[in-house]
Amino acid sequence: MNISINLNGKIIKDDIQPGLTLLEFVRSHGMKSVKHGCDTSNCGACTVLLDGMPILSCSYPAARADGHEVTTLEGVQDEALSIGRFIARQGAEQCGFCNPGYILNTIALLRENPHPTDDEIREYLVGNLCRCSGYDGQLRGIREYLNSLEK
């Protein structure tokens, strides 16, 4: 079936298999930041923004994204880099596998709520699993990033 998706600002037309997931679609078009993690809608490594809203691309049919905007980390590189630096400074990126999903979901959080409390950050990012850290490093990194914006 034929679909057309605005992927990071570029219209991609493709003929896909009906059961293709959005994760497989974006990776096949070079967006390798989107990770194939648990494949059971649990880990958040496959997070993308669909019309600005964070979703799990491993469980989202590419066919449903037809006519919509999909953003991966590659599409918000400057923003991602500035947040990522603060997370790295806290030693919280380690293996790095969860980072793209983590940062993309952080971007979604800050667009929805520019001044989150620590509890609001925890609640929003609870669906992003990290097997290296204890999550406090990421929280400190995001807090430092937010503090830097206020200076």
Partner 1 sequence: MLRINEYVKADSPDEAADLLKKKNTVIIGGMHWVKMQEKDIPVAVDISALGLDKITETDSEFVIGSAVTLRQIETHIVLNDFARNAIADAVKGIVGVQFRNTATVGGSIVCRSGFSDVITTFLALDATLHFYCEGDIRLCDFLGRERFNDLLMSVSIPKRAEKITYKSVRLNATDFSVLNVAVALCADKLRIVVGARPMIAKLIEVSIEDALMAKENSQIEEYVNSIAAEYDYESNMRGSKEYREHLARVLITRALEEIL
Q: Binding to partner 1 by residue 25, rule CB under 8 A?
A: no
Return left, alpha or beta for 94; rule: phi > 0 is left, psi -120 to 50 is alpha, else beta. Answer: left
Binding mask 118-147 for partner 1 (x = CB under 8 A): -----xxxxxx-------------------
Residues 37-66 that bind partner 1 (CB under 8 A): 40-42, 44, 47, 53-56, 58-61, 63-64, 66
Amino acid making up residue 92:
A
For the chain, what's the residue count?
Answer: 151
26 pairs with which residues across the strands? none
Helix 136-150 × helix 99-112 angle, to 10°: 40
Q: Which is nearer to partner 1, 28 or 148 (CB)?
A: 28
Instruction: List interacting residues with partner 1 (CB under 8 A).
Output: 1, 18-19, 21, 40-42, 44, 47, 53-56, 58-61, 63-64, 66, 105, 108-109, 123-128
